[in-house]
Amino acid sequence: MTEEILPGLHRIKIPLPESPLKYLNSYVIKADGRNLIIDTGFNRNECLEAMNNGLREIKVDLADCDFFITHLHADHFGLIARLVTKKSKIYFSRPDKEIIESWEGFEPMIEYAGKNGFPENELRAALHQHPGYKYGSDWTPDMSVLEDGETITYGNYCFECVETPGHTLGHICLYEAAKKILIAGDHILSDITPNIQCWSDKDNPLEKYLLSLDKARKLDVGLVLPGHRRLFNDHRARIDELKQHHEKRAEEIIDILEKGPGSAFEVASFMTWDIRCDSWNDFPVAQKWFATGEAISHLRFLEEKRLVTKEKNNSGIQRYSAI
């Protein structure tokens, strides 16, 4: 399914089977010379078929296409290796490029989850069914790094790169000031909250995300083109909603810890989640993993604010307490 959003700017809806996100918005800038495809979908035949059909519908040849990938997640990056040609240029961020190039698998993440109370064997088995594991790129093509503030021009569109770390360390949005459009990837979504996970004692992705929201809020934007779901207009109102969501999350976690200390896994089990399950025990393992990662990101944020403290128990499990 394709639609022309603005002259020369098209959206192709790439299906994401078995994902609650349902589809990816892949954007195509059609030009007389090189065309630009922004984000690709999973490394799945269904995604490849939808992409090829969409390009055929708007009369764009892959041989004449370059690519911009907003961030490293498989639903945005996974299909890239099946689309590139010898002439393709691929634009990407340095932090996410370095993560991909140094990737050693899920094991460090599993071990860290274990230190935060997550049953490691349960998680290890579930991650083999994770889309990032099953539908990632077969290989990593050469990528051209873009830094904050650099521009790329295709057709009548001149995009400025806006680094917006949080959802991933190297997430980048594209801003077209003259046309007041923001291609937002997973930084700002219309009706779902981007997942902000943390799997390291050294990182503070929620703080980075909130600062990135403030950065995007300053832009003069008339239309937001997100990575998923519908397009929308009032980006400042949506950013305010997202910031309020995370403030309430932080308050909820402090309330939980005031009743007693707990691991991130235990804290996540008491948090409010928009999922159709009667209890935490009924959550699919993958959803528990997302929830725990989100809990850790808020706990790390609160720890840096000196609103919670962390210590290890005799089993080596990190437990948090309210101050």
The pLDDT value recorded for residue 135 is 87
The pLDDT value recorded for residue 277 is 87
The pLDDT value recorded for residue 136 is 85
pTM, two decimals, is 0.95
| Sheet hosting strand 23-29, strand order edge to edge | 2-6, 9-15, 23-29, 35-38, 65-68, 90-92, 144-145
Is residue 38 within 8 A of residue 21, CB to CB? The reply is: no
The pLDDT value recorded for residue 275 is 86
Q: What is the secondary structure of 151-207 as a DSSP string?
A: EEEETTEEEEEEE--SSSTT-EEEEETTTTEEEEETSS-SSSPPP-----SS--HHH
Helical pair 120-127 and 285-304, crossing angle rounded to 10 deg: 120
Q: What is the pLDDT of residues 172-194, one digit of tens each?
A: 999 999 999 999 999 999 999 99
Question: Domain 2-322, what architecture?
Answer: 4-Layer Sandwich (3.60)
The pLDDT value recorded for residue 103 is 83
Main-chain dihedrals φ then ψ at residue 52, nearest 5 degrees: -60, -40
Question: Domain residues of the chain, as ranges?
Answer: 2-322
Spans of the chain, pLDDT less than 70: none
Is residue 222 within 8 A of residue 233, CB to CB? The reply is: yes
**If we measure between CA atoms, which residue out of 194, 276, 176 comes closest to residue 243?**
194
Q: Which residue has the tokens 């990837």?
A: 185
3-state DSSP assignment of residue 143: coil
Is residue 165 within 8 A of residue 204, CB to CB? The reply is: no
Q: What is the secondary structure of 225-272 as a DSSP string?
A: EESSS--BS-HHHHHHHHHHHHHHHHHHHHHHHHT--B-HHHHHHHS-
The pLDDT value recorded for residue 276 is 86
The pLDDT value recorded for residue 299 is 98
